[in-house]
Amino acid sequence: MIKAIIFDFDGVLVESTEIKTEAFKQIFQNYPAYIDEIVEYHEENMGISRFIKFKHIYNNIIHLPISQEQEEDLGKTFSQIVLEKILSASFASGAMEFLQEYYKDYFMFVASGTPEEELHFIIKNRGIEEYFIETHGTPRKKPEIINDILKRYHWNPQEAIFVGDAETDLSAANETGIHFVARIAKWRNKTFDCTYCIDNLSDLVMILKKLSKY
């Protein structure tokens, strides 16, 4: 029986994936020869810390050193670009309806690649704080967050489900042994090799009922 639902945030609860893609383009606009490769890397690694991406981009794409101070400055600039837009972005299809109807039936969590302090601010200001038992972001990685939740609440992996929109989310679910549902918006024209794929989060109800039979 499913007891816990762990959600990624961007692209799962809020339509904010394109906001962050545009932010990477803006931050690295002075390196036009590398923009396509930078965006491709970002889109293939959605769900992981922006700081990991900054290091990879500098070390492996534009081939320049990056200092701790530069990382911090990039993080601040990134937040300045995306924060206001994320606060006003649309909720994902069916997200609010699902949260409002089922938050008392399941233990709900957020595990995001967004820095934790920023994530808390966004969730509070979006008015959805009450729906979640806990919200977690980076620097911890998602497998660490998931395993910590399972351990503290004494759940086995088959009692939890992770709803994400990236290959890294699928990998986190596989690594921790929990069920996975891909939330892939139809407008993204993205394919996903997994058992359960949805666009509207209201469809998550049918999957939960199916999994609860086992």
* 138 and 184 inside one domain: yes
pLDDT (tens digit per residue) in 59-100: 999 999 999 999 999 999 999 999 999 999 999 999 999 999
* 106 and 201 inside one domain: yes
* 111 and 8 inside one domain: yes
Domain at 101, CATH number: 3.40.50.1000
Give which of 119, 163, 114 is closest to 4, Cα–Cα.
163
Supply φ then ψ for residue 48, to 5 degrees.
-105, 165
* 125 and 190 inside one domain: yes
* 188 and 118 inside one domain: yes
pLDDT (tens digit per residue) in 108-150: 999 999 999 999 999 999 999 999 999 999 999 999 999 999 9
Of 65, 88, 111, which residue is a domain's last? Answer: 88
* 97 and 146 inside one domain: yes
* 193 and 141 inside one domain: yes
Distance (Å, rounded) from C-alpha 200 to C-alpha 184? 9
pLDDT (tens digit per residue) in 175-212: 999 999 999 876 566 666 778 999 999 999 999 988 87
The token pair at 53 is 């991406």
The token pair at 67 is 């200092």
Count of the separate structural domains present in the chain:
2
- Strand partners for 163: 7, 181
Which of 207-212's residues contact partners 24+ apart within 8 Å by CB, and which partners?
Answer: 207/161, 207/181, 208/2, 208/5, 208/106, 208/161, 211/2, 211/161, 211/179, 212/1, 212/2
Residue the block writes with tokens 């990685």: 141
Of 26, 57, 88, which residue is a domain's last? Answer: 88
pTM comes to 0.91
The token pair at 39 is 């965006």
- Domain extent at residue 55: 17-88
3-state secondary structure of 154: coil
Of 70, 88, 106, which residue is a domain's last? Answer: 88
* 141 and 199 inside one domain: yes
The token pair at 136 is 């977690």
> Could you give the percent of the chain with pLDDT greater than 70?
96
Distance (Å, rounded) from C-alpha 7 to C-alpha 91? 13
Distance (Å, rounded) from C-alpha 144 to C-alpha 172? 9
* 109 and 198 inside one domain: yes
* 98 and 184 inside one domain: yes
* 143 and 195 inside one domain: yes
**Residue 212, pLDDT score:** 77
* 106 and 189 inside one domain: yes
